[in-house]
Structure 1
């Protein structure tokens, strides 16, 4: 209100659309490399922690735009880009890429979807097995005044995972394994909720994976933070070094091992360094006790995971973080 009692309205800008070709003139040379470096923007829309590692991946006589994985579930993700209206040719390529890579999550990005193409993706989601999912995502861009343009990703097609899970159980399977997977999914749902309640933005996941581990990105390719259930009623909070190049994992592991005294002092406890002989990966972790089947202990386990991850992340920052290579 002003001194005379009149209300003063805030000054607001207006969102203005920006032509995609103004930002990315060439799909393969401009948009695909940008998305490779900014996968988090797409991941936020999809509810995934995307780690996109490869562009222009050869599949037969074609080149798939992007290949990566969902860090939270370790499931494969492929992305086909189209900065124009969708067409039958790209739908055919999408199916070729899905078959050629045995992908779990298949993402088609376009400026606009013709009416028949979301229907085709919905049909595929309804008839494929629970380990194959198709997403349709429309991309646009906006700005306010003279600001830099901002991308907008809108998911217009996504799978009905719950329906697929129900059909899977109805057709039989390992009920004991399925029951435990449902426990994992419920536990991680509560873990995700606890992260939000604590104001921690470690994950963009919207639902818990039906598996014994939950990974979040470190911001460095080939390295993840992980909390998981192990064998013999054990739990772990860890830094997992799983780059596809074993030499990079070894280099990162050895550098942190050289800083072990400082790292453990910052962590406030003892850490276990596991080079994982015979495997490409390495891990640095703390091991505790617990089982997902012990529901009465879930609150304690969630608190333990969050506390250990807070301390591990802070300790790594104290010693300079994870080397890129």
Structure 2
């Protein structure tokens, strides 16, 4: 019977995995994480939602987002590249699109607010950006309606992206992004 190379299976070979540090021949204990067994021997974790406000600060999250602009760019169909920060306020990322045009990304981890809506608009106007992205924890209906109206009336584009946080059991939290659109009421 062959020996499994799966670190979760007892009796695995003493060969290091590519992501394991060298141990100079000493056995390395296998790190285990809390799991829920769906069936005997099958470790499966549980996906848990978390509150982004409790996990991250907006300015720190904006710094992370500046290094991971593909997370929001892919949702909008725009390849974004980080630009020099310039006069951006905390919680704001300055990026450029493939044509070199400036894009402003403003982070608000809680529910969308009038204050941040004003900040997004001021930054868009002051910088001359044709695209702005408002990343928030929950998009309020009145803000989505205002954004939809602005996108019809101005030459620039304003996108609202909702960020949620998830983790598997007690793992490091990860953001999930989705493009927010206003709900169209019938009638």
Whether 1:38 and 2:65 are equivalent positions in the alignment is no
Match 2:113 to one of 87, 108, 114: 87
Q: CA deviation at 1:114?
A: 1.4
Aligned to 1:58: 87
1:72-114 CA distance string (max 9 Å, x none)? x433211111111111111111111111111111100110111
The residue aligned with 1:155 is 179
Is residue 86–residue 114 contact of structure 1 (8 Å, CA) maintained in 2?
yes
Task: Specify the alignment match of 2:48 in structure 1.
Answer: 16
Taking the aligned partners of 1:147 and 1:103, their CA distance within structure 2 comes to 37
Query: Could you report, residue by residue, the CA deviation over 1:261-318 in whole angstroms, capped at 9, with x for unpaired residues?
Result: xxxxxxxxxxxxxxxxxxxxxxxxxxxxxxxxxxxxxxxxxxxxxxxxxxxxxxxxxx
Q: 1:13 to 1:47 in 2, by over 3 A?
A: farther
The answer to whether the Cα contact below 8 Å between 2:133 and 2:160 also exists between their aligned partners in 1 is yes
Any stretches of 5+ residues in structure 1 without a counterpart? Answer: 1-7, 159-325
Equivalent residue, structure 1, for 2:58: 27
Q: 1:187-226 maps to which residues of 2 (within 5 A)? A: none
1:249-288 alignment to 2 at 5 Å?
none
Q: Which of 96, 99, 120 pairs up with 1:69? A: 96
Q: Distance in 2 between matches of 1:79 and 1:108?
A: 6
1:201-236 CA distances to partner (integer Å, 9 max, x unpaired)?
A: xxxxxxxxxxxxxxxxxxxxxxxxxxxxxxxxxxxx
Shift of 1:35: 1.1
Q: Which residue of 2 aligns with 1:142?
A: 166
Which of the numbers 133, 156, 163 marks the counterpart of 1:107? 133
CA contact (8 A) 1:121 1:157 kept: no
Tell me how far apart the structure 2 counterparts of residues 18 and 63 of structure 1 sit (CA, whole Å): 23
In structure 1, distance between residues paired with 2:84 and 2:110:
23
Q: Give the Å deviation of 1:11.
A: 5.8
Q: Is the 8 A contact 1:137 1:156 kept in 2?
A: yes
Q: Supply the distance in 1 between the matched residues of 2:120 and 2:146 (Cα, whole angstroms).
A: 12
Does the 8 Å CA contact 1:139/1:152 hold for their aligned counterparts? Answer: yes
**C-alpha deviations, 1:93-138, integer Å up to 9, x for none?**
1111111111111100110111100001000001112xx1110011
Equivalent residues, number: 143
Q: Deviations over 1:229-258 (max 9, x none)?
A: xxxxxxxxxxxxxxxxxxxxxxxxxxxxxx
Q: Please, what is the CA RMSD of the aligned residues?
A: 2.4
**Mind listing any 5+ residue stretches in structure 2 that lack a counterpart?**
1-38, 183-187
The structure whose RCO (Cα within 8 Å, separation 6+) is larger is 2
**1:24-73 CA distance string (max 9 Å, x none):** 1x222x11211112222222222222112234x426xx6671111123x4
Match of 1:49 among 79, 83, 94: 79
